[in-house]
Amino acid sequence: MRALVTGGAGFIGSHLVDALLADGHQVCVVDNLATGSRVNVNPGAEFVEADVRNREELVRIGRRFAPGVVLHLAAQTLVARSASDPLRDAEINVLGTVNVVQAAIAAGSRKVVFASSGGTVYGNAQPQPVPETQPLNPISPYGVSKVAGEHYVRVLCGQAGMTCTILRYGNVYGPRDIPASQHVITAFLHALLKGERPVIEWDGEQAKDYVYVGDVAAAHVRAIDAGDGEAFNIGSGREVSVNTIFRQVCELLGMTIEPHRGERRPGDVRRFTLDCRKADQMLGWRPATRFAEGLRRTVDDYRRPADLRRQDEATPIPLH
């Protein structure tokens, strides 16, 4: 199948592109390279530099490539930035999502798979682990934008006779993440390998559900032909505290260091884990990578010199 991936030059998106190509799909990557990199893009994929806020360009790309499925991962993902600039967050995550769905409709696609955020759409949910039936009650503008995106995808696809599947991620980690993401594992690695003391915000006992990026990519591939009209939690079903992660990263690096302590980030939740039984039952998906193994792979990759990472670029797709 022809698959278009927005955000396909980014951390999660590039792993998804790899998985799609390995599964025999033809892939077009759309990314504005604000946080993604051409280095990440598998040379087997076509590439277009474009922004999801530009509806006309998305429609042109979609009609040219004619994807059967659109997998929408492009987003503003920083909770703190969403709080400081909610308008920009909404422009990218809400209006950008509307543009992507309208482009999919114009291209005659049969399905949209939308990347949402289990860590923010549920808010401070009880009980734990959180099932998909939990009311959506975000406590940050980012969470609000993801909830709005879910509803727009569901309604617009339904009106157009298209199917959709929503995937609500846990905290995704793995190779190709960048410090600008402000993800805790990457932030720790970046600081420690520069000889700096990392910052642990709050008291470090906040505990989240961490899921390996390769497992998240596999969930998207499953969602192409399953889970129509449904939302699924995509996580590990287990929680790991920030303090525990810091200790394990230091052990893998052979370091002993005391972190700085900082204030709580606005919109951060105390703890969450995701109940992923529905994904197991309906998508045939479950996380395959244990946290210790995924963390080891992440640390090993981050320590590699940059010139040993993928340097090939994708072949541009002609637009005219």
Per-residue pLDDT at 304: 84
Per-residue pLDDT at 3: 98
pLDDT at 179 over 80: yes
Tell me what the pLDDT averaged over the chain comes to: 93
Q: What CA–CA distances, in Å, run from 194 to 191, 210, 303, 315?
A: 5, 24, 11, 35
The tens digit of pLDDT for each residue in 14-35 reads 999 999 999 999 999 999 999 9
Per-residue pLDDT at 309: 47
Per-residue pLDDT at 213: 98
pLDDT at 320 over 50: no
Domains observed in the chain:
2-316 (3.40.50.720)
Q: Residues 122, 142, 152, 302: which is the catalytic one? A: 142
pLDDT at 311 over 50: no
Per-residue pLDDT at 97: 98
Report whether 185 contacts 298 (CB < 8 A). yes
Mean pLDDT of 204-226: 97
Per-residue pLDDT at 308: 52
The tens digit of pLDDT for each residue in 235-266 reads 999 999 999 999 999 999 999 999 999 998 77
Q: Known catalytic residue: 142?
A: yes
Residue 248 Cα to chain centre, angstroms: 23
Mean pLDDT of 71-92: 94
pLDDT bracket for residue 319 (50, 70, 90): very low
